[in-house]
Amino acid sequence: MPIALALTGPDIAQVLNARFRLTEAACPGGTAVYLCSGLLVRRSQNPANVAFWKLSPEAVSAGYERFDYWRLDREPVDVSAPNGFVLTDILTAIGIGKTLEVNAATGDAQALVKNWDDTAPLRIPLQALFYNLAVGGSLHAAQRDQLVYFQATGEWLPILRLQRDEAQQSLFGFSMADQLYVGYQVAAKLNARYADTSPTCRDGRAAFYCNGVLVRTTDQSTAFHSWNPSPGSVRGNGASFSYLRADAGVSRFYKSQGFVIREQAAPAGNPMSLRCAYPYDAGTGGSADVCRTHGGLCSELGVNSVEVWLARYGARVNASCAFDVDPQQFQLSIDVRKTRGDFYGWNEFMVAAWPQNNPAQLPIEAFFYNAQALVPSNGLPGAQYDQRDYFKVTCRSIPILRATLGTASPVFVFNPSEQGL
């Protein structure tokens, strides 16, 4: 594989910034500056239903496409461009077996690139996509371009951030969070946490600090933000989540879509803290204190073993006391669930109410949908709405995953085509 094709996203950002800073009067052998320096950039001007690499009508007529030529010593970069793409330099194109012919245009800030075969995107010497941090919505536009290119070629182009520094020495930065394909990594992390049944973390803390997956299912509605706690959750200081783990016996969800939060040990601007755990649905709605819906904490009532719990609650599992979140009590909430099935199919773990309308500080890791809900609906459109709503408020992109319980396949699966772009 040519070295150029093995570059990572951060590498490509550095390469482009270095080419931007090259201000030589000519390239080796007295050749034109386009051969080795500067950047050939074009904003995505095609309609949303036309792939970004398709030639414009003007190019088809003229035989060339007009590109901006960005270099430190040339006219200032057009910082209004919302998103677009960058070509390799000519030498790199030659090295990877692709054709790139460039001629000067009138003025220093543009170049003319000879038309390529726009039916064969893999043959076009594309190096990166970009979006402008200062232009709202431009990241989703770049992700749409990234997805379309992947669907056509099976390869991912990196998305870079256009963020010119005050010294005007750099243009581009890279963040893994901007890449559409980060969903694969998120799904892999969640599946690893789901499979990890260690009763405690390595530092001795309760397991939920490092393993298992806390999920909250939500309604499909445009009347409120899904990530805000409901009024009842605020009154009772607790929102209902389910704790998914390979040994937790959760076989069904309450609703068809929702969100996943990071493990409790993960840093967050506004942590979401687990208060207590019910091994089965506990009907906590309307409680003045959701951890005392059925008489208080198990530790206060002397419920400290599976046998004691069975003697007291075995015939009425949905009326259980609430387990505390220390390591022994937390693991006990998992162990007692292994003794009895139930109609609902989930446990109910109570997370303390968090501040309203501050989504960027919350440890939300993914949105998800499922086809195993007690209250069935088509969860994917709801998850897509939540994803777009979150992006609109935060300008951050969080993946949608499909969740399926009780199969040999991975619980969480990422599909690029299911994202609400």
Q: Looking at the structure, tell me whether residues 48 and 101 fall in a common domain.
A: yes
Q: Looking at the structure, tell me whether residues 372 and 294 fall in a common domain.
A: yes
∠ CA 371-376-380, rounded to 5°: 55
Along the 421 residues of the chain, how does pLDDT read in single tens digits?
233 456 899 999 999 999 999 988 888 877 888 888 999 999 988 888 899 999 999 999 999 999 999 999 887 777 788 999 999 998 889 889 999 999 887 677 889 999 999 999 999 999 999 999 888 889 999 999 999 999 999 999 999 999 876 666 788 999 999 999 999 999 999 999 999 999 999 999 999 999 999 999 999 888 889 999 999 899 999 999 999 999 999 999 999 999 999 999 999 999 999 999 999 999 998 899 999 999 899 999 999 999 999 999 999 999 999 999 999 999 999 999 999 889 999 999 999 999 999 999 999 999 999 999 999 889 999 999 999 999 999 989 999 999 999 988 899 999 999 999 8
Q: Looking at the structure, tell me whether residues 332 and 410 fall in a common domain.
A: yes
Q: Looking at the structure, tell me whether residues 156 and 212 fall in a common domain.
A: no
Q: Looking at the structure, tell me whether residues 289 and 216 fall in a common domain.
A: yes
For 1-53, give the DSSP string: --GGGG--HHHHHHHHHHHHH---SSBGGGB-GGGTSSEEEEE--S-TTS-TT
Beta strand pairing call for 400-403 and 412-414:
antiparallel
What pTM was computed for the model? 0.90
Domain limits at 76?
Answer: 3-178
| Structural domain count, the chain | 2
Q: Looking at the structure, tell me whether residues 317 and 380 fall in a common domain.
A: yes
Phi, psi for residue 145 in degrees, rounded to 5: -65, -40
Q: Give dist(CA 241, CA 217) in Å, integer.
A: 7
Q: Looking at the structure, tell me whether residues 245 and 266 fall in a common domain.
A: yes
Domain boundary (178, 197, 220) is at: 178
Q: Looking at the structure, tell me whether residues 102 and 214 fall in a common domain.
A: no
Domain boundary (113, 148, 178) is at: 178
Collapse the DSSP code of 138 into the 3-class scheme (helix H, G, I; strand E, B; otherwise coil) and give the result.
helix
Quick check: 215 and 401 in contact, CB under 8 A? no
Domain boundary (178, 211, 238) is at: 178
Alpha helices in 57-181 (DSSP H): 57-62, 90-95, 138-153
Give Cβ neighbours of residue 192 (< 8 Å, ≥ 6 apart): none
